[in-house]
Structure 1
Amino acid sequence: MSAKLQGIILVLLGTISYGLPASLIKLSKQDGITEANILFFQFFFGCLALGILYFFSSKKINPNETQLDPSAKRHLILSGTALALTNSFYFTSLEYVSVAIAAVMLMQSVWITSVLDFFFKKTIPSPIQILCIIGVLLGTILTTNLIGTEIVISPLGLFLSFMSGVCYAITIMVTNNLAPQASAFGRAYYISLGAFIIICILWGWSINLSIIPLSLKWGMIIACFSIILPLLLFAKGMPKITAGIGGVLSALELPAAIIFAYFILNEQISILQFTGVIVIFIAISSVNLTNNKSIKE
């Protein structure tokens, strides 16, 4: 098996892993687990695993990686605030809307990132980025059934899931500029540590102590598929493939989340909604492939 094919398989598995947590969260809620307990133990186990991985990976000298200085560590920890809010909004929204709706609203981060770049970096979106934004918005209209009347969607659920997209865009924008040459495990550890601290502040007071044993189980499972496994697979697979292919494969998270919800939760999705998902996938894939081509040139 070629290195490129290995990379594609690893990144694809990582993307599929990212698509599973939303369904697991809904299952955990059916088991009586609260958002506070899920979030706390998800990041607890995530930080623990990433800390161990970072400790052992730091023993190996890599000339292509820079060491994290105290200032970079502080900034990475602070950036974890946006990640904590992303998960808080996203997990809470699943109480009111389907996985499909929540996942699509999270993907609004694609155009929100472009808006933030325009206001803070004065970066004007390219024509292909504008087309991507239009595609994402069109797909969102189809998926949320804004042009139909058959499905009633919770406005609160839409707002919460949209806010998760806003916070995710901020997470991407901030973390992409922080110690980009440092160890992936190191960056992920300090960001997750910052997120865990914020989760403790926001949700610690409402943790239900009577369901700790069950929360430990669900927290470990969700942390595995949302933090640990994807990072390991991406760390191994991404260096073997181009950024464009990686971006296209990463965009499969959206259809993966919806397929998992269909089979695990029996959540129904109409042809119109699935068409919207495909439109969003094509839009995101196109801009990733175009960006990769531009970098090569």
Structure 2
Amino acid sequence: MLAFLGGCSFGILSTFVKIAYGQGFTPAQVVGSQFFGGAAMLWIIVLLRKKYKMKMSMVFKLLASGIAMAGSGLCYYQSLKYLDASIAIIMLFQFSWMGLFAEWILDRRVPGKGKWFSALILFVGSLLAAGILNVKEISMPLPGIIWGLLAAISFTAFIFLSGRVGVEVPPLTKSMLMSTGAFIVVSLIFPPRFLIDGSFVGEGLYKYALLLGVFGVILPPLLFSISMPNIGSGLGTILSSSELPTAVFMSVIVLREHVSVVQWIGVLVVLAGIALPNIRALRRRQTSLQ
């Protein structure tokens, strides 16, 4: 459930990002304020709690893990420069099967047929939910495809690292260090000029920093840090595919966007792909108890 909610949290982001763009804020301001807001809130929370001592080597490992966290957002924003939103989300959604390969290669754990079948269902569902069938002419420039796949690889790495690095570290402290590392990476690419040019407070950018910081920086690493060590990155990437259905629901509820019947069918197919491996696992657990 926590991994599923982590994916839902990411799915909320696109709606607020669209609203922020509509207010005239640039991608550099939005992504920079997102990681700044999330990291700042986590620092405040952690400093108010009981201190946890750890080795500097672990601190640097967690800071470095933030590179994958930042890379997913940065690469996805770059892909949107070349691709339509529907194509870009499909490129990002390839993390649903990349996680299975990561589990296979790095953990030497061969995913079962059920997981591969779920990944196939998720891919088909993503095509339908993203509205790809409604697009008459598809433009897929090579740079856009590369950036989109890099976003998927970065997201897969983020999920994998959440379940491997600093497992013994308290989730809040771990999330704080990972988000700090992500903010450092983003700041190197997009210097945080919004902190001094008046847009953060004067123009209201802080509101989006808080919203995007909570749903894009605080909750995902926190929820994944708790869930991934227990379920593995393979099942974790399948569960976090809840990102796409959530994005569709939010676009309808908040942005009042039109979603076709085919897209709703795609949402149901994605949810079925998420549920399948969990139903199988539950049946195996009940059989073993009997």
Distance 2:144 2:261 in 1: 22
2:91–2:148 CA contact under 8 A, matched in 1: yes
Tell me which of 184, 193, 197 is aligned to 1:209.
Answer: 197
Q: CA deviation at 1:191?
A: 0.6
The residue that corresponds to 1:26 in the other structure is: 18
Q: CA deviation at 1:105?
A: 4.0
Distance 1:141 1:39 in 2: 26
Partner SS, residue 132 of structure 1: helix
1:46–1:228 CA contact under 8 A, matched in 2: yes
The residue that corresponds to 1:52 in the other structure is: 44
Deviates more, 1:194-203 or 1:116-125: 116-125
Does residue 1:218 correspond to 2:202, yes or no? Answer: no
Q: TM-score, normalised by structure 1?
A: 0.76
2:156–2:237 CA contact under 8 A, matched in 1: no
> Cα distance 1:249–1:173, how it changes in 2: closer, same or farther (>3 A)?
closer
* Alpha-carbon displacement from aligned partner over 1:174-194 (angstroms, at most 9, x marks no partner): 231112122000110111011
* Alpha-carbon displacement from aligned partner over 1:118-176 (angstroms, at most 9, x marks no partner): 33343322111111121122223333455665364665666544432221001111231
Distance 1:133 1:12 in 2: 15
The residue that corresponds to 1:4 in the other structure is: none
Distance 2:105 2:4 in 1: 33
> Cα distance 1:13–1:172, how it changes in 2: closer, same or farther (>3 A)?
closer
Does residue 1:171 correspond to 2:158, yes or no? Answer: yes
Letter in 2 for 1:58: K
> Cα distance 1:192–1:291, how it changes in 2: closer, same or farther (>3 A)?
farther
Q: How does 1:86-235 map to 2 (within 5 A)?
A: 86-93=72-79, 96-98=83-85, 102-144=88-130, 149-150=135-136, 152=138, 155=141, 160-204=147-191, 209=197, 211-213=199-201, 214=203, 215-228=205-218, 234=223
The residue that corresponds to 2:29 in the other structure is: 37
Distance 1:106 1:227 in 2: 18
Unaligned runs of 5+ in 2: none
Q: CA deviation at 1:205?
A: 7.5
Distance 1:56 1:283 in 2: 41
Tell me which of 85, 94, 102 is aligned to 2:71.
Answer: 85
The residue that corresponds to 1:284 in the other structure is: 274
Kindly tell me the number of residue pairs found equivalent between the two proteins. 277
1:108–1:136 CA contact under 8 A, matched in 2: no
Deviates more, 1:139-148 or 1:32-41: 139-148
Q: CA deviation at 1:276?
A: 2.1
Letter in 2 for 1:204: P
Distance 1:12 1:80 in 2: 21
Deviates more, 1:195-204 or 1:273-282: 273-282
> Cα distance 1:86–1:231, how it changes in 2: closer, same or farther (>3 A)?
closer
1:145–1:151 CA contact under 8 A, matched in 2: no
Unaligned runs of 5+ in 1: 1-7, 60-65
The residue that corresponds to 1:266 in the other structure is: 256
Distance 1:148 1:27 in 2: 24
Distance 2:146 2:191 in 1: 24
